[in-house]
Amino acid sequence: MADLTTDFLGITSPNPFWLASAPPTDKEYNVRRAFEAGWGGVVWKTLGAEGPPVVNVNGPRYGAIYGADRRLLGLNNIELITDRPLEVNLEEMARVKSDYPDRALIASIMVPCEEGAWKEILPRVAETGADGIELNFGCPHGMSERGMGSAVGQVPEYIEMVTRWCKTYYDKPVIVKLTPNITDIRKPAAAAKNGGADAVSLINTINSITSVNLDTMSPEPSIDGKGSHGGYCGPAVKPIAMSMVSEIARNPETHGLPISGIGGITTWRDAAEFISLGCGNVQVCTAAMTYGFKIVEEMATGLSKWMDEKGYTNVRDFVGQAVPNVTDWQYLNLNYIAKAKIDQDQCIKCGRCYAACEDTSHQAISMSADRVFEVIDEECVACNLCVDVCPVEGCITMEQMQPGTVDPRTGKRVEEEYANWTMHPNNPMANAAE
């Protein structure tokens, strides 16, 4: 069994699976049970400033979208930061940390964008013995209207400024949590780095409306006939999150900045993918809210087994391994030519590949009277749509054509050399053809 012990910013935890700042980490009772279940660390539910806490709605706060068999694919929420008094949270954090010294405990904080507010709260957080802080610049609803959360996260100058205050008044690691509700994620990440952040974490939730009740004409979740956009999370957001993570990881300005990956992580494989794209650890919320704390057992055993198979002895060994392979479209090898291939033994003859290719793509799959489906190499552009719609995993594969053979679609020889769009004759901006 590979050792999953992870060192992130000098904070060690028995595994790279932390619970993200959210309801699962809102109180001592939850966090103790999470640690007993095996979670490596928690980012405590976001703390607000001293004084009367925020109030949440008293009606439904979540909406969802589903896949087959009501499998939850996406969750949205209109919850705010913790609605419990600061003092209570701080006391609980201190107690839990002293009882679980081997686990990571991070305080998430969101206070107004004024130096005094941060100066006041940071020493109190430090007293709890928490291992670090995470700045919540991501919450897209409720708090942003008050000039906090994503309202700050969308302005790189504010991020840099607040991060700098934190580095001034707090001496343990500072993680800046980024909102995805922005066009270019590299900007806030760079701002965080410039402000002295030790790491960024992402993504927070995405502005969303999950459904509309067609009887009442109210968005869901509906509070007395009205709804508000909420923050979207769960498996559906994983691709968006991974893209953003990779952008930060490969941007020369932020390359090497530690990242805590968040967004739709549900299984060990999701976690491994985020780590391969440059994350030093991962955070989980929706999966735990959907299935309970026990899922960490699957994550830990699955990751460990895969690491054994690959010969990795530490999570560190594969952090960022996929980053060099993330490139821009224009650098993709246009001389790489593939054709779809259907394994007739696995094919169950549903005809989905045929319908998809015939109706919406390149008419490159033939169907015989007795339902044999075959790829027509003369037409196949290797778009992968058939692979994606086939219900049998591994039934259709993409086979690379060997250099020297002739692509029956174009009649051209498959070249061995790498050639991309920047060199292509059709590109008006191509470098002078050498």
Partner 1 sequence: MAHGQTAPGILAGRLSSEEIETNFSDLHPPYAPHEAAVAADRCYFCHDAPCVTACPTDIDIPLFIRQIQAGNPEGAAETILSQNILGGMCARVCPTETLCEEVCVREVAEGKPVEIGRLQRFATDVLMEAGTHPFVRAAETGKRIAVVGAGPAGLACAHRLAMLGHQVTIYDANPKPGGLNEYGIAAYKATNDFAQAEVDWLLKIGGISVECDVALGDGGLTLEGLRGEFDAVFLAIGLAGVNALRAQGEDKPGVHHAVDFIADVRQADDLLKHPVGRHVVVIGGGMTAIDAAVKSKLLGAEHVTVAYRRGASAMGASKFEQDLATSKGVKLMFNVQPKQVHGEDVATEIELEYTATVDGALQGTGETVRLPADQVLKAIGQRLEGVPDALHLNGNKIAVIGAGRTSVEGVWAGGDCAAGGEDLTVTAVAEGRDAAMDIDATLRA
Residues at the contact surface with partner 1, assessed by CB under 8 A:
68-70, 348-352, 354-355, 367, 371, 391-392
Where do contacts with ligand SF4 occur on this chain (CB under 6 A)? 342, 347-353, 373, 390, 392, 395-396
Supply the minimum distance, in Å, between the C-beta of residue 339 and partner 1: 21
Closer CB to ligand SF4, 199 or 347, in the complex: 347
Helix, strand or coil, per DSSP, at residue 119: helix
**AA identity, residue 11:** I
Supply the minimum distance, in Å, between the C-beta of residue 73 and partner 1: 13
Tokens standing for 183?
């066009």
The candidate with the shortest Cα–Cα distance to 78, out of 150, 147, 139, 19, is 139
Closer CB to ligand SF4, 332 or 372, in the complex: 372
Contact 158, 115 (CB under 8 A): no
Can you say whether the dihedral through the CA atoms of 130, 136, 139, 144 is positive or negative? positive
Beta bridge partners of 61: none
241 binds, among ligand SF4, partner 1, none (CB under 5 to 8 A by kind): none
From CA 44, how far away is CA 34, in angstroms rounded? 12
**AA identity, residue 400:** Q
Tokens standing for 155?
């302005």
Closer CB to partner 1, 289 or 353, in the complex: 353
396 binds, among ligand SF4, partner 1, none (CB under 5 to 8 A by kind): ligand SF4
Helix, strand or coil, per DSSP, at residue 41: strand
Closer CB to partner 1, 33 or 349, in the complex: 349
395 binds, among ligand SF4, partner 1, none (CB under 5 to 8 A by kind): ligand SF4
From CA 22, how far away is CA 205, in angstroms rounded? 11
329 binds, among partner 1, ligand SF4, none (CB under 5 to 8 A by kind): none
117 binds, among partner 1, ligand SF4, none (CB under 5 to 8 A by kind): none
Candidates 139, 233, 347, 395; catalytic one: 139
End-to-end CA distance of the chain: 53
Contact 283, 260 (CB under 8 A): yes
Helix, strand or coil, per DSSP, at residue 393: coil
Closer CB to partner 1, 338 or 350, in the complex: 350
Closer CB to ligand SF4, 345 or 417, in the complex: 345
From CA 426, how far away is CA 270, in angstroms rounded? 38
Other beta carbons within 10 angstroms of residue 76's beta carbon come to 28
Tokens standing for 27?
């109180």
129 binds, among ligand SF4, partner 1, none (CB under 5 to 8 A by kind): none
139 a catalytic residue: yes
Supply the minimum distance, in Å, between the C-beta of residue 358 and partner 1: 8
Give CA angle at 380 (375, 383), nearest 5°.
110
Q: What amino acid positions are annotated as catalytic residues?
A: 139
